Amino acid sequence: MYDYDLLVVGSANADLVIDVERRPGAGETVLGGDLAVHPGGKGANQAVAAARLGARTALLARVGDDGHGRLLLDSLRTAGVATAGVLTGGAPTGVALITVDPSGDNSIVVSPGANGRLTPGDVRDADRLLRTSRVVSAQLEIPLETVVEVVRRLPEDGRFVLNPSPPRPLPREVLAACDPLIVNEHEAKVILGGAAAGDAPEDWARSLLAEGPRSVVVTLGAEGALVASAADADEARDGDGDGDGVEVARVAPVRVDAVDTTGAGDAFTAALAWRLGTGATLAEAAGYAARVGAAAVTRRGAQESFPTGAEVGAP
């Protein structure tokens, strides 16, 4: 009855990368190495990551009627993502212009382009995709009103996962739909806007949960992650003893030699969203996602670094 395990609603960008000896200052021109063009954008990255793991995945996004758009469609189809929901036209494909210096520091200019033209109307037109997908995930590289429309159009038994990146304050209506809200440290701080009740990630998770999400995941890079949700009635009485009715659990880090962390968060979110749809608990899904995120940091690039289900092993 479900056509898709995961529907990703989000961005698709071409990442244009040039290595430079020194990043240019105001008014300056520097010569760099050969241009490398990679498919990217958080939405496309998540969709490719999920499909590579074996999830039946669809993407709702918008690209331009241009070469970058065709590059993105190609990489999505090669990974096995259903692209009927990838709309074309309205503006050039979104682009990230990235210069990287020898120390690995970068400067990035993003032109959202067609991503900024993915409208609430496009979400309404994709009603069938929303109704036939077990889990829907989104990020914030598309207009916020489009994400709001996704939340309003979720089917009764639909599950919504949000990685609020780049972060901005969120309306209560969106927060209340998140199950979970997935944030790194920086995103947690922006969403909380100074409302965190302490310095530890556990404190941020509790503070975030108080803002309305049904559950929260905080990713901690090489330190793994933690999950937080309202405890069920029994555990609220006799769980961790502090009586606040919130259960917080650490997800053990997976030790690997990290080469490039680009895209780790996207791979983590995609894996977690997919596993939740198969009936895994939040802690189980996050444990699997941590293995996927760890595998992604052992290889260079974003989409090129995402593992297959066979590489990660049984969930």
Interface contacts to ligand ADP, rule CB under 6 A = 184, 219-222, 224-225, 253-254, 256, 258, 261, 264-265, 268, 290, 293-294, 297
Cβ burial, residue 15 (10 Å; 0-12/13-18/19+): buried
| Comparison of 88 and 261: residue with beta carbon closer to ligand ADP | 261
Q: Which of 15, 122, 179, 266 is catalytic?
A: 266
- Closest approach of Cβ 184 to ligand ADP, in Å? 4
- Closest approach of Cβ 298 to ligand ADP, in Å? 8
- Closest approach of Cβ 77 to ligand ADP, in Å? 25
Our answer to whether residue 266 is catalytic in this structure is: yes
Instruction: Report in angstroms the alpha-carbon separations of 50 from 28, 122, 166, 179, 216.
Output: 41, 23, 21, 18, 20
At CA 50, angle to CA 36 and CA 275, rounded to 5? Answer: 150
- Closest approach of Cβ 302 to ligand ADP, in Å? 10
| Comparison of 54 and 221: residue with beta carbon closer to ligand ADP | 221
| Comparison of 114 and 251: residue with beta carbon closer to ligand ADP | 251
What are the φ and ψ backbone dihedral angles of 56, each rounded to 5 degrees? -75, 110
| Comparison of 63 and 296: residue with beta carbon closer to ligand ADP | 296
Active site residues: 266
